[in-house]
Amino acid sequence: MKIHFAVYIFTTCFFGCVSVTSFPVPPSPDQVEILLAFKNEFPSRNCDPIWNTPDVVFRSPNIGSWTKEAVSFDGVVFDNATGAVTELNLGGACISGTIQANSSLFRFQHLRYLRLFINHFDSSPFPSGFGRLANLEYLDLSQNGFIGEVPSSISNLSRLTSLDLSYNKLTGRFPNIHNLTLLSSIDLSYNQFSDTIPSSLFTMPSLWYLDLRQNNLKDPLENMTSSPTSKLVHLDMAKNLFSSRILEPISKLPNLTHLDLSFQNTTYTINFDYLPFKSLEYLDLSGNSVSVLNTSSENLSFLILSNCNLTEFPTSIKTLQNLRGLDVSKNRLKGKVPEWLWKLPSLGNVNLSQNSFSFLEGSPEVLLNSSLSELDLSSNTFHGSFPIIPPTIQVMAASNNYFTGDIPLTLCKASQLILLDLSYNNISGSIHRCLTNVSVLKLRNNDLTGRLPDIDSDSLVLLDVAHNHLSGKLPRSLVNCTSLKFLNVEGNSISDTFPFWLKTLPKLEVIVLRSNRFHGPISSSPERTLSFTALRIMDISLNNFDGTIPSDYFANLSGPLVNPPQGNLWPEYRGDWHYKYPTEPWYYPSIDVRNKGRNMELAKIPDTCTIIDFSGNGFGGKIPESIGFLKALIVLDLSNNGFTGRIPSSLAKLTQLESLDLSRNQLSGNIPQEIRVLTFLAYINMSYNRLTGQIPQGTQIGGQSKSSFEGNIDLCGLPLEETCFRETTGVPSTPQTQGIEPTKQEQVLNWKAAAIGYGPGVLFGVAIGQAFASYKPALFYKLFRLAFEF
């Protein structure tokens, strides 16, 4: 979340406290009337007014609670003297629809603060009525889905000090706001403005915060100037169409401390050879071609040069004695990392990932005396032993390299270590117990041996040791890791029974035991039914589990599997979010999954991803009908087992299901016709069972390949080539077994089809009826009469 959102939460809580301790006059009756009229304009609210940020759980106001008799109104602040509405704090209030030009909202003539962010006005034009709220000082309409141009009436808001229209779909010219001389904060980011920016923008006398990120804005046609008395401190112009012309006026802004010019999608070549900024503390030039960089800012603390096509390490960095964070990732740097880099006295965060660095210049202890707290060496060509890291390190990422040898014991001295990622290297030996105090431990795809050590840490969130050579049992001390969300031990030689005891972990979302030597039943008594409260993904495939699954096994499973998602405001991925740089989250857990018939690595696990994979074991008996309780399930794989009996019709309740694999079992009977309603089902595999009858016909099923149903000798209908009708008589039958008799309902439906198809040729139907009369006269009489009635 942006900084000003945190400020909003603080100010909201502050003013809320003031309103509780003061003694205001009752709300004015006419103001109550307007509030209720506004409420009635939006009767439909379709979301939960509780939503999360990485730091807080925020409860939005509920306008549904507003009544005529109320003394206080959720999200509303009244003037203590007059009872007039002065603040509407309706951020995230689940308001949906369109704000009409005559909306009651525009009748609040005393309104000073309007926070209406994160609601649902999708595809609604930006109302011109906001220009009638002449007393407005603060206006936040961000993340609402407004479309079209910002009307010129916004220039009437002469008292406005803060304007936020970010994360909408606004288009056209730059808003007519340059005459609003009291504006101190402007956020127009993440829209589709395509005009040139006004030349007077950098001369606005009160402006200190300006965010124009991700639009299609261009340089002004005339020369742009800046004021030597400008108060502008924060300037974000990333992901636009600016050229190098923009640098000259920006460089003269005396108080500018934060500048983001990253990813200018333009044909112009932007020359960053010399940047005469004096006060700059944060500079992001990512995504632009930078050949030589020279900046005179002695205060520069964060320098982001990711994806700048760099081929040589910028030597000018050596002079930046106040540098705290450096990002040169995603470039073409190779060879050595210069030794002088680690001598910068304040350097704490360094990202060297996705280059071709092969070694660190200097001795093996070159990092030891540095002030590093976060270091990312991942996706390079580093080789040899792992370097000795300083005791101050908190985040150490070195995945996708060629490091060899044991995990160095010096890591045990890093008492502040929170995240360690050594995945995809050639590291051998055992896992030190001292490492289990970290929050995120990723050691997948190495050559580690021995047992997984005892882990007794309430701070452990993610443990990934997949694809090593670990043996023994899962350490029972994991039951004390109350913060654990993600456990992946796939592709080892761990020999153990199913870890029933992990169900006590309140936050455990992902369990991956795939491809080990786990054995025995997954439920041996009523007390051992599945009861994980937060589980979203459970992959126990390719083990030696056996036995039957109780009928109620899935009945009381976790909420994330039972309750379909209601939709997110933004696409989220599970992982530890890191705000070192305002670009992408630092870390995601990853897993290997089998989805839609293909093995794939899921590098980012979507927040709504739900998987049950029991394939490749020795389970028998029936598939429990209680599987139908998992209404949020997306992937279900029960293949390569010994399940018998019929396919449960309760599968039709899994309305979110996209991939279903029941192949290579001993399932029999008909495929339930009810599964035709599964409109999201993109992949089905029921091959090599003992299924009979007609394949259900539906859009999703008809698009499957023949291989999805092969190996069932008594199965017929599309997409198989075997027809369910005899060519000579039109009588339903299976390809191999003609003795199986269709039900009465099936017979009636087939005769109806015949009657429609032959129309006036009733006599032909009579002839067929006579042929069958001797076989089943009573049934013939009913069907023949039905044909005439039809």
Contact 631, 651 (CB under 8 A): no
Give me the phi and psi of 110, to 5 degrees please: -100, 5
Q: Within 13 A of 380's CA, how many CA atoms are on the CB side?
A: 29
Extract the tokens encoding 130.
């906001």
d(CA 722, CA 441): 53
The top-level CATH class assigned to 1-195 is alpha beta
Residues 6+ apart with CB under 8 A from 447: 426, 427, 428, 468, 469
Closest CA to 300 of 344, 336, 269: 344
480-500 pLDDT, tens digit per residue, is 999 999 999 999 999 999 998
Place of tokens 């609601």: 119
Amino acid 530: pLDDT: 60
Question: What length is written for the chain?
Answer: 790
Task: Evaluate whether 709 touches 687 at the Cβ level (below 8 Å).
Answer: yes
Q: What is the reported pLDDT for 781?
A: 33
How confident is the model at residue 434, as a pLDDT?
84
**What whole-number distance in Å separates Cα of residue 183 and Cα of residue 161?**
4
Calculate Rg over the CA atoms of the chain: 33
Measured CA to CA, the distance from residue 419 to residue 421 in angstroms comes to 7
In 3D space, the residue among 759, 756, 757, 754 whose CA is nearest the CA of residue 771 turns out to be: 754
Q: Distance between CA 241 and CA 619 in Å, rounded?
A: 60
Give the Cα separation of 299 and 282 in Å (integer).
9
* pTM of the predicted model as reported, rounded to 2 decimal places: 0.80
SS3 (DSSP) at 130 = helix
Neighbouring C-alpha atoms within 13 Å toward the C-beta of 253 = 26
CB 438 within 8 Å of CB 416: no
- List the one residue out of 194, 172, 187 whose CA is nearest residue 126: 172
Q: Which residue has the tokens 């002839």?
A: 767
Q: Pairing between strand 440-442 and 462-464?
A: parallel
Between CA 731 and CA 712 the distance in angstroms is: 21
Helix (H, G, I), strand (E, B), or coil: what is residue 188?
A: coil
CATH, domain range 482-698:
3.80.10.10
User: What DSSP character marks residue 725?
Assistant: B
First to last CA, the chain: 65
What is the CA 36 to chain-centroid distance, rounded? 36
Q: Please tell me whether residue 71 adopts helix, strand or coil conformation.
A: coil
Q: CA 413: distance to chain centroid?
A: 35
| Residue 129 · residue 106 · CB < 8 Å | yes
How far CA 201 is from CA of 177, 227, 249, 757, in Å, comes to 9, 10, 11, 74
**CB distance 107 to 88 below 8 Å:** no
Q: Which of 167, 170, 177 is nearest to 148 (CA)?
A: 170
Between vectors from CA 332 to CA 329 and to CA 335, what angle results, nearest 5°?
100
SS3 409: helix
Tell me how far apart the alpha carbons of residues 542 and 736 are, in angstroms, rounded to a whole number. 34
| Backbone angles phi and psi of 166, in degrees to 5 | -70, 160
Q: Are 1-195 and 482-698 equal in CATH topology?
A: yes
Report the b/e string of 607-622 with b at 16+ CB within 10 A: bbbbbbbbbbbebbee
Q: What is the 3-state secondary structure (H, E, C) of 202-223?
A: HHCCCCCEEECCCCCCECCCCC
Q: Nearest 5°: CA angle at 519, between 513 and 521?
A: 100
Q: What are phi and psi of 128, to 5 degrees?
A: -75, -15
Q: Are 136 and 106 in contact (CB under 8 A)?
A: no
Per-residue confidence (pLDDT) for residue 578, from 0 to 100: 36
d(CA 125, CA 103): 13
Report the alpha-carbon distance of residue 319 to residue 28 in Å, rounded. Answer: 63
680-683: Cβ within 8 A, 24+ apart = 680/655, 680/656, 681/657, 682/596, 682/658, 683/595, 683/596, 683/597, 683/658, 683/659
For every residue of 458-486, DSSP letters joined together read TT--EEE--SSEEES---GGGGG-TT--E
b/e per residue, 74-110, with b = 16+ CB within 10 A? bbbbbbeeebbbbbbbbbbbbbbeebeeebbbbbbeb
Counting as low any pLDDT under 50, the low residues of the chain are 1-23, 53-56, 527-528, 567-586, 727-790
Q: What is the DSSP string of 557-580?
A: --HHHHS-----SS--B-S----S
Cis omega (within 30 of 0) for bond into 719 = yes
- DSSP state at residue 531: -
> What is d(CA 235, CA 181) in angstroms, rounded to the nearest whole number?
18
Beta pairing partners, 334: 356
- Specify which residues 547 forms β-bridges with: 619
Cα-based distances in Å from 449 to 90, 467, 494, 542: 56, 11, 11, 20
d(CA 316, CA 336): 17
Region of 131 please: left (phi>0), alpha (psi -120 to 50) or beta. Answer: alpha
| DSSP class of 124 | P
Delimit the domains of the chain by residue range: 1-195, 482-698, 744-789
